[in-house]
A and B are shown apart, each in its own frame.
Chain A
């Protein structure tokens, strides 16, 4: 079983749609969780950290379910500029070692 698994998509949605991405992780000792966004041939950029209580940043909502080892990202009112690859990321280290484990990414294409 891969450490972090995501549906690769692609997800093709019209502008204004709501889209949800899911991710599962295998290591129950994982401590920190993130969603990164990566545009074609660019570096990953931190979109948001994910907290157990769930968190929202504008049109983006992230949820974490530790019991099911499941992370989600919801994007509301999709914009053309949201087209990118979304990477689910997990950290299993302690302060001395904080390697990020990435999923392969889910591709989103928003069309007008």
Chain B
């Protein structure tokens, strides 16, 4: 039973560029959430997708957008990258219960 998977594992981008991160939820899960974790901080909620719609959004600018596909996988897009966007981006999935399970994350470095 595969857990949550994310790609790529690492990414280096330049300021102003755009990036797309991908997530496949744990088998049987239908809800995907994205979190940003800066160094030394706890993860911060970006948004959540269910039935291919954004259901809830945290305090992140519109540069952060996402999508969920019919197979429940999801993408996180960040436009006009800033140095402050450098972080570990985590995807979490769940099905019905409140317990969420995290993927290994994508470490994004913006230079």
Contact = CB atoms under 8 A, between A and B. Distances in A.
A and B: bona fide binding partners: yes
Given A43-B104, A46-B101, A87-B42, A100 B56 contact: no
B15 interface: no
Nearest to A34: B99
Contacts of A98: 31, 33, 48, 56, 94, 98, 100
A34 B50 CA distance: 22
A105 B103 contact: no
The secondary structure that dominates the B interface is: strand
Interface residues of B, number: 27
B34 to A, nearest CB: 10
Contact of B43 (A41, A96, A102): A102
A46 B102 CA distance: 9
